[in-house]
Structure 1
Amino acid sequence: MMGRQDIDQITLRLISLVPPGMVDAHKDLRANFRDILAQGLRHLELVTREEFDVQTQVLARTRARVEELEKRVADLEAAVSPPGT
């Protein structure tokens, strides 16, 4: 997830686009840009990298288990089906 430092970097990039003649507005714009970015990011349903990695591992284990169970079912079906069918 984006931290305060990331938001500050984006804010500085946006501020650098403001014409130099508007020096007085830089302080206000910086605060407004930071607040708008932070507010917008809070509305997104984001997860941390750690949470994402944990869920990726859970999914990999689940897939492996499903594959294992599918093989067992196929073996059981083969065992109970009459030969030649």
Structure 2
Amino acid sequence: MFDSKKLEQLAKQIHDSMPQPVKELGADVDSKVRQVIQGQLGKLDVVSREEFDVQTQVLLRTRQKLTEMEQKIADIEAKLSDKNDTAE
């Protein structure tokens, strides 16, 4: 197995020994790749993690309200059933 700390140290030494224009080219390539990926993801029919999380919270609140309303309806139906039973 390779020692990950030694690999990181070696990678840092190589990076530090590179001429500045090469470092800048690497950073520029990284930036361009990120831009292309973000652009392509923007074209897909997907939502951001933030939007997904917001909609998840909305869904949870809606489910909670639905459960509460179902319980209220069940209580009302039980009361009506009791009234009908006592009236007969």
- Please give the TM-score of this superposition, normalised by the length of structure 1: 0.49
Structure scoring higher RCO (CA < 8 A, sep ≥ 6) equals 1
- Please give the TM-score of this superposition, normalised by the length of structure 2: 0.48
Structure with higher Rg: it is: 2
